[in-house]
Amino acid sequence: MERFINLLIIDDDQKSQGELRQILRGKGNNTLIANSINEALPILSKKEIGILLINIDQSSFPGFETFKTIKEISSNKNIYIVAITNNSHSGVKMVKGLNEGAIDFITKPFTTNLVEAKIEVYKSLFYKDQRINQLLTNIFPETVLETLNKNGKFSPKKIENGVVLFTDFVNFSSKTRKIDPLQLLKKLEYYFTHFDEIIGRYNLEKIKTIGDSYMAIGGVTEKNDEPAIRTCLAALEIRNFMNNEKAVSEAMNVDFWEIRIGINKGPLIAGIIGEKKFSFDVWGETINIASRAELSAIPNSINVTEAMSEKLAPYFEIHSLGKIDIKNRGEDIEMFLIGQIKNEFSLYNEGKIANGELRNLCMLSNVDSSRMRKEILNKLKASLPEEIVYHDLSHTLDVEKAALRLAKLEGLNEEETLILRTAVLYHDAGYIISNIENEKYAVNLAIKTLPKYGFNSEQIDQIVEIIKATQHSNSLPVTLLEKIMCDADHDYFGRADYYTVAQKLRIELENYGTVMTNKDWVRFQINYLENVHVFYTETAKNIRLFGKNLRIQELKKIYNYEDEIESRKN
């Protein structure tokens, strides 16, 4: 698995910069250069820098106290600072640097093996930090994790209007007796994974699964408004997803699963329990009532309590079910059935998807990027001609992966990444229509379909220009997003799997009438790599140019070999 890291060198000595660049070349290192602290600060604030190498002997070095400023301003608070010095005997200076935040020193003149070894150690620590943070993010909500990192603890807190959602599957116990345990687990994983995606899109928090029950909350850990509405929107999407699954199963004459959903709103206590295995959880009567609402729901329906109804009534079709007994509570509670979104608050008046007005009310993005991605990938999978074996679905997914990698290394924000990713997903969709001027058809498809996912005209204009940047006859890419698009499209030029991917291009060309001998094919590749193609971003140059140059050298050897064979035949 390829791993990449941003390394920043702060040094006004051009010779030192060049030496370190040479030592750090390749190995997933995106090496950035700044001549001074002031020049480095914008880079530190925008890009996630894993390791900082700073010359403490340069005249512009403001002092060791600047290490604290670096950590405060850096987008990566766990940045590893390695000091560069000319004097290996300055023990006092080294101690002071270590006390102020440096983790190590390297001395000039550089010893290649020593520098490489130290950098590899801190890269391993950086990757481990990333993995730990990822695992913690999967365990704790983001806001809880922030509090833990800042204060070292998370004190229990009371939430006055938390929202609790419960789901479970109808007749689950009887299904467990009829299905293989492994198949049962795969089925649950399939459904719960989709629930996770939906819950995440509405900025809710999954708490846990208990058997076939799924529990999520709103208004406790997130900053978005209207948790009751967001929870109901998520419940509708879960219900609609399950209804679609049922329809498919019925059409195929196989067993189907049905779901019940219950939602309640009220006071909650949120906190972390456990000493060795920590768990974030919520407690309170509100949870018990939400569970009761779910248990009393009919299959494929959403029950909400009276506490929810007043908030939901303006936006959703809602019908009273009368009062239902709540065990151990001593009184009945009126329940309501949720139908669909009212037409005036739904996209295309269909009642299924919230429109921009309702999403704005909930502080949700107007763009339904998950639905867009799913539908364009399905379209590519179903509609690309069989002759398209290079510009196929796997190519789009490969370019998407490369683009997201470059986006992270370049420090793109969420909006920029969304625009870039959308352009990547559409950039080869024109091959559905034609292999000639395919970008034109991709642009037309984007203009036609993106508005229904909530993209505005300004966003679509950006996406169109990024797609156009991939045209061979087009002018050079101008914006950073256009440059990343072009670099991601040819990311494999610098990778070890180049020949596997390139062979698919050769087959596709042959499918459309361009047949080359082995020698001609090698000549074609050398010419394109050496004389036509360029990487545009510094990041792509840093992580892929070395590999691309190796491919050129390898291809030239292959060409000479083919030339020698041809000469012998003649």
**Residue with tokens 């919230």, as numbered in its chain:** 354
Rounded to an integer, what distance in angstroms lies between the CA atom of residue 92 and that of residue 137?
A: 40
In order of 47, 407, 482, 549, the CA distances from 404 in angstroms are 14, 5, 13, 23
**Long-range contacts at 11-15 (CB < 8 A, ≥ 24 apart):** 11/35, 11/53, 11/54, 11/55, 11/58, 11/84, 12/36, 12/55, 12/58, 12/59, 12/60, 13/55, 13/58
- The packing angle between helices 393-410 and 480-489, to 10°, is 140
What are the φ and ψ backbone dihedral angles of 296, each rounded to 5 degrees?
-90, 0
The DSSP H or E segment spanning 281 is: strand 279-283
Contact predicate 77/104, CB 8 Å: no
Rounded to an integer, what distance in angstroms lies between the CA atom of residue 570 and that of residue 564?
A: 10
Each residue's pLDDT, cut to its tens digit, for the chain (570 residues) gives 689 999 999 999 999 999 999 999 888 999 999 999 999 999 999 999 999 999 998 888 888 888 988 988 898 888 999 999 886 556 677 777 788 889 999 989 999 999 999 999 999 999 999 898 888 888 888 888 888 777 777 788 999 999 999 999 999 988 888 888 899 999 999 999 999 999 998 999 999 999 999 999 999 999 889 999 999 999 999 999 999 999 999 998 888 999 999 999 999 999 988 777 788 899 999 999 999 999 989 999 999 999 999 899 999 999 999 988 776 665 788 999 999 999 999 877 788 888 888 999 999 988 888 889 999 999 999 999 999 999 999 999 999 999 999 999 999 999 999 999 999 999 999 999 999 989 999 999 999 999 988 899 999 999 999 999 998 766 789 999 999 999 999 999 999 999 999 999 999 999 999 999 999 999 999 999 999 999 999 999 999 999 999 999 999 999 888 777 777 776
The full set of domains in the chain, from first to last, is 5-139 (3.40.50.2300), 142-361 (3.30.70.1230), 369-569 (1.10.3210.10)
Q: What is the DSSP track for 443-462?
A: HHHHHHHGGGGT--HHHHHH
pLDDT at 474: 63
DSSP letter (8 states) at residue 346: B
Beta-bridge partners for 29: 5
pLDDT at 89: 53
Q: What is the DSSP track for 210-225?
A: ETTEEEEEESSS---S
Rounded to an integer, what distance in angstroms lies between the CA atom of residue 440 and that of residue 531?
A: 26
Closest to 165 measured CA to CA, from 235, 268, 233: 235
DSSP letter (8 states) at residue 343: G
In order of 153, 269, 284, the CA distances from 275 in angstroms are 12, 19, 22
Cis bond upstream, residue 109 (ω within 30) = yes
* Residues in the chain, overall count: 570
Q: What is the pTM of this model?
A: 0.84
pLDDT at 88: 59
Rounded to an integer, what distance in angstroms lies between the CA atom of residue 420 and that of residue 462?
A: 9
pLDDT at 503: 97
